[in-house]
Amino acid sequence: MNSINRIAIVGAGVAGMALAILAKKQGCQVTLYERDSKVSSIGAGVTLWPNAIFVLQQMGLEKEIKRAGGTPRYMRQFDQYGVQQGEFDIEAVNMLSGFPSVTILRRDLMSILTKALDDLDVEIYFGCSMSVQDIDRLKQDFDLVVGADGRMNSVVRHTLYAEKVNPCYQGFVNIIGVSQLKEGVLDNAIHDFRGSGERFGIVPVKAGLCFWAGAWNANIDKEGPLSTWYDEMHQRFRSWPDPVQSVLESYDKAPLNRIFVHDLDPLPYWHQDNVLIIGDAAHASLPTSGQGACQALEDAWYLARLLEEQDELENVLTDFYQQRIAKTSAAQTVGRQLAQSIFGGQSEPQSFASGISAEQLSQFWMQGLEMK
């Protein structure tokens, strides 16, 4: 048996759950600690690009994910008047990568991961908001403590850095939601509308179901009621073309969320002793990178593979950082560049993947992901 066997994971988000599944499958004893009283399905949806589907296939979950999600063929970019500015062929990237791209509601993704954990009998303690003292205790009781506790207030990250690492606010707010449109309105394409300092993205899942995000430049104001943000969204996008109007007329108000969007600068290290951070806790990127959940899944796969291959914990943790830092930093940089071009006052927002071919994108996303 491998000497790194008892693993504590703090945070049952995408990164923590994926690692728990992969590590348990290869024989580790895994214990998950989650702050909330159940797995959170807050959030609208995610696009799982081919690199994420590669990992989900290794987890044995590709079929369920494809069943629950949608497979858009194009990403089309429009200006705020509805004039198409560009089109990106998602199927070309899928073909080159050897894996599909799947759009899925977050609640469906999380319920698939939860079921996989249940099937594997992974021990999960809910309602455990871990403190710095708790992490110190876990360090004594486990071979490895993994912080997958998210971007904003990662306690595990806090134990690694004497000076608290503060996520950077990038100057825009996102309102995210889910809508049921008439079937066919979205024509199996991700719709990305951009104005100056404003963006409205709509992602089809299936049969008219879609998730979306309206975003604009804003100062942080957590005091004002949520309703004022929704009113502002309606006001800002009231003259934008369909399907933006259809979305705004038909969204489900319950899961609506307002997010002041933060990310992290690349960090110089992610581990100390037997403690490691992964996912957003280590390298949160902006939603404009489209890669946050995908990179969280990749982290889980890389770490599980290193744990299987190596006996020395220090080597596992050092190699993990070396294998992951370039790609995750690139996702952080790309996210910032795109956000800057949309929300930073440039007159002509840069197009999605401008200047990058399907070949380059596929090579970048799939880099390092090889079957055993």
Ligand X SMILES: Cc1cc2nc3c(=O)[nH]c(=O)nc-3n(C[C@H](O)[C@H](O)[C@H](O)COP(=O)(O)OP(=O)(O)OC[C@H]3O[C@@H](n4cnc5c(N)ncnc54)[C@H](O)[C@@H]3O)c2cc1C
Q: Which residues of the shown chain bind ligand X in the complex (CB under 6 A)?
A: 10-16, 33-36, 40, 46-47, 128-130, 148-150, 155, 174, 176, 213, 259, 279-281, 287, 290-294, 296
Using DSSP's 3-state secondary structure scheme, residue 51 falls into: helix
Q: Are 187 and 87 in contact (CB under 8 A)?
A: no
| Residue number, 2 or 340, with CB nearest to ligand X | 340
Minimum distance from CB of 171 to ligand X (Å)? Answer: 14
Whether the CB-CB separation of 361 and 353 falls below 8 Å is answered with yes
Cβ distance to ligand X smaller for residue 292 or 349: 292
What number of other Cβ atoms are within 10 A of residue 103's Cβ?
21
Question: Which strand ranges, in their side-by-side order, compose the sheet holding 84-89?
Answer: 84-89, 74-79, 189-195, 198-206, 209-217, 168-180, 257-263
Angle among Cα 138, 41, 72 to the nearest 5 degrees reads 120
Quick one: 50 or 150, whose CB is closer to ligand X? 150
State in angstroms the smallest separation of the CB of 56 from ligand X: 12
Q: How far is the CB of 60 from ligand X (least distance, A)?
A: 19
Please tell me the distance from the alpha carbon of residue 31 to that of residue 40, in angstroms, as a whole number: 18
- Report in angstroms how near the CB of residue 347 gets to ligand X at its nearest: 25
- Name the residue nearer to ligand X (CB basis): 165 or 310: 165
Cis geometry, peptide bond prior to residue 266 (ω within 30 degrees of 0):
no
Give the C-alpha separation, 295 to 282, whole Å: 11
Give me the least distance between CB of 145 and ligand X, in Å please: 12
H-helix or E-strand containing 111?
helix 106-119
User: Of the two residues 148 and 307, which places its CB atom closer to ligand X in the complex?
Assistant: 148
Confirm if 124 and 21 have CB atoms less than 8 A apart: no
Neighbours of 1 (CB within 10 A): 6
Task: Give me 230's structure tokens.
Answer: 């929704």
Q: Residue 252 CB, nearest distance to ligand X (Å)?
A: 16
| Least separation in angstroms between CB 11 and ligand X | 3
Residue 76: Cβ within 10 Å count = 18
Nearest to 94 by CA among 48, 39, 150, 125: 48
Minimum CB separation from ligand X for residue 327, in Å?
13
Closest to ligand X by CB, 155 vs 275, is 155
Closer residue to ligand X in complex, CB, 64/149: 149
CB of 130 to ligand X, least distance (A): 4
- Name the residue nearer to ligand X (CB basis): 28 or 278: 278
Q: What kind and span of H or E run contains 217?
A: strand 209-217
Strands (E), 218-362: 257-263, 271-272, 275-277
What is the edge-to-edge ordering of all strands in the sheet holding 271-272? 123-125, 29-33, 6-10, 144-147, 275-277, 271-272
Comparison of 2 and 325: residue with beta carbon closer to ligand X: 325
